[in-house]
């Protein structure tokens, strides 16, 4: 192999490696952005403005209209925003009153992320969805099934873009090792165990 061919081969390999690294990091950025928590109705936030106690709220609940009330700023839209987006909105509005506001928005309690479990389950009700939770884990949180539960006809009701979807869950399939049926829960999912 000639020196020119060897250099061309090495340069091509390096360029391919760089392209691979860049595409992998781009995928990670997209993945990270899609996993950002969005503030919802009922969430409890803490908003701290550095060195400005009059513009600090230790606990503020997002109202049913999706807004929060902030001193001098009136109502600010919070629902649907990430904490960093709300921080920027508050800082922008506060800049009228504070020279260089430094705001921190903290999610204290994610009350908007709930799921519901009903029917032949020991502890029916509303449960917080504070982490990634599967159907099996939801059954465990709710104390398990009653003796009359039909474990092959469990229903999961889910809203997708204002369209309701019904998913049949067969508990026995999951127990036998088909973990693809152990579905991750989403906010406002309702599980019914007949």
How many CB atoms within 10 Å of residue 70?
19
Q: Which two tokens stand for residue 66?
A: 């999706």
CA angle at 146 for the pair 141 and 151, rounded to the nearest 5°: 85
Q: Which residue has the higher pLDDT, 22 or 52?
A: 52
Average pLDDT of the chain, as a whole number: 85
Domains of the chain: 44-109 (3.30.1950.10), 114-193 (3.10.560.10)
Q: Each residue of 137-167: pLDDT tens digit?
A: 999 999 999 999 999 899 999 988 889 999 9
Residue 146: strand, helix, or coil: coil
d(CA 25, CA 70): 38
What whole-number distance in Å separates Cα of residue 123 and Cα of residue 101? Answer: 47
175-188 pLDDT per residue, tens: 999 998 899 999 99
Tell me what pLDDT residue 130 has. Answer: 81
Distance CA 29, CA 41 (A): 27
Tell me the mean pLDDT in the region 20-47. 64
- What band does 35 get if pLDDT is binned at 50, 70 and 90? confident
**Considering the entire predicted model, what is its pTM?**
0.67
Q: How far is it, in rounded angstroms, from Cα 177 to Cα 181? A: 9
């Amino acid at each position: 192999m000639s020196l020119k061919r060897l250099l061309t081969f090495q340069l091509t390999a390096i360029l391919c490696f760089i392209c691979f690294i860049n595409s992998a990091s781009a995928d990670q950025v997209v993945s990270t952005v899609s996993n950002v928590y969005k503030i919802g109705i009922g969430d409890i936030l803490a908003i701290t403005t550095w060195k400005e106690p009059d513009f600090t709220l230790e606990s503020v609940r997002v109202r049913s209209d999706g807004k929060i009330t902030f001193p001098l700023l009136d109502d600010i839209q919070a629902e649907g925003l990430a904490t960093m987006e709300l921080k920027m909105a508050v800082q922008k509005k506060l800049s009228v009153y504070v020279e260089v506001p430094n705001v921190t928005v903290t999610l204290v309690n994610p009350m908007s992320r709930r799921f519901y479990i009903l029917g032949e389950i020991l502890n029916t009700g509303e449960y917080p969805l504070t982490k990634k939770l599967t159907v099996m884990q939801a059954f465990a949180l709710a104390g398990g099934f009653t003796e009359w539960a039909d474990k092959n006809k469990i229903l999961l009701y889910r809203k997708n873009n204002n369209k309701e979807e019904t998913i049949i869950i067969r508990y026995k399939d999951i127990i036998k090792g088909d973990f693809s049926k152990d579905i991750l829960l989403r906010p406002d999912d309702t599980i019914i165990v007949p």
